[in-house]
Amino acid sequence: MNDIGRYIDHTLLKADATRDAVARICDEARRYHFKSVCVNSVHVEHVSKLLEGSGVLTCCVVGFPLGAMATAAKAFEAEYCVKHGASEIDMVINIGAAKEGDWAVVEDDIRAVVRSSGTAAVKVIIETCLLTDEEKIEACRCAMRAGAAYVKTSTGFSTGGATVADVALMRSTVGSSVGVKASGGVRTPADADAMIAAGASRLGTSNGVKLIEG
């Protein structure tokens, strides 16, 4: 797929990511016209300045990778990121609450981040590898009710990443009104094509250049 670059959130979320490494992925994102660069909040201002005028968005993760932070902490981090240049926020849900079936807590957690993010698009990471299909569906419904712009499969830091089946399930749940981001394990052009065919409207990957170059 020749236009695959527009789907890609070019991602660097490793603990040992240096400013030079972050600058390299920003250069790659500009060169290949990726949709965004996705980083931890410590890098938000640096990335925002490097991408200024490029058309590539600055995306930051919040409550990452566990989602087990206080709602107020997630909301504060989201607000900080937006204030310092992020136009997209990828947040991790309260997975423990989801496993307990406490969907009010899950939804309120998402809503707090959405509100703190202002006009920035919020993508809600549900960590599909830890949920049953029924839990995945309900997590997606919580994200929709809370006003999220996307639902996202995975952090890439847990026991598994995106699968075609999960992307299809999420797309069938949210319909056409909310985006679906496949993240974790999108390594080849064939992987990318399969995820897009299943309903993904965004791809989170650290392999963006390989996907373009084949």
Three-state SS letters, the chain: CCCHHHHEEEEECCCCCCHHHHHHHHHHHHHHCCCEEEECHHHHHHHHHHHCCCCCEEEEEECCCCCCCCHHHHHHHHHHHHHCCCCEEEEECCHHHHHHCCHHHHHHHHHHHHHHCCCCEEEEECCHHHCCHHHHHHHHHHHHHCCCCEEECCCCCCCCCCCHHHHHHHHHHHCCCCEEEEECCCCCHHHHHHHHHHCCCEEEECCHHHHHHC
Whether pTM > 0.95 for this model: the answer is yes
Chain-wide mean pLDDT for the chain? 97
Catalytic entry in 35, 109, 181, 191: 181
Whether 123 is catalytic: no
Compute the average pLDDT of residues 89-115: 98
- 35-83 tens-digit pLDDT: 999 999 999 999 999 999 999 999 999 999 999 999 999 999 999 999 9
**Residue 185 · residue 19 · CB < 8 Å:** no
Compute the average pLDDT of residues 178-201: 96
- 82-96 tens-digit pLDDT: 999 999 999 999 999
Whether 181 is catalytic: yes
Please tell me the predicted confidence (pLDDT) of residue 2.
57
Cα gap 15→102, rounded to integer Å = 31
The count of C-alpha atoms lying within 13 angstroms of the C-alpha of 43, restricted to the half-sphere facing its C-beta, is: 27
The CATH H-level superfamily of 4-213 is Aldolase class I (3.20.20.70)
Catalytic entry in 90, 109, 166, 191: 90
Position 164 pLDDT exceeds 70: yes
Whether 193 is catalytic: no
Position 1 confidence tier, pLDDT thresholds 50, 70, 90: very low
Cis bond leading into 189, ω under 30°?
no
Instruction: For the chain, give every domain's residue range.
Output: 4-213
Catalytic entry in 74, 152, 166, 191: 152
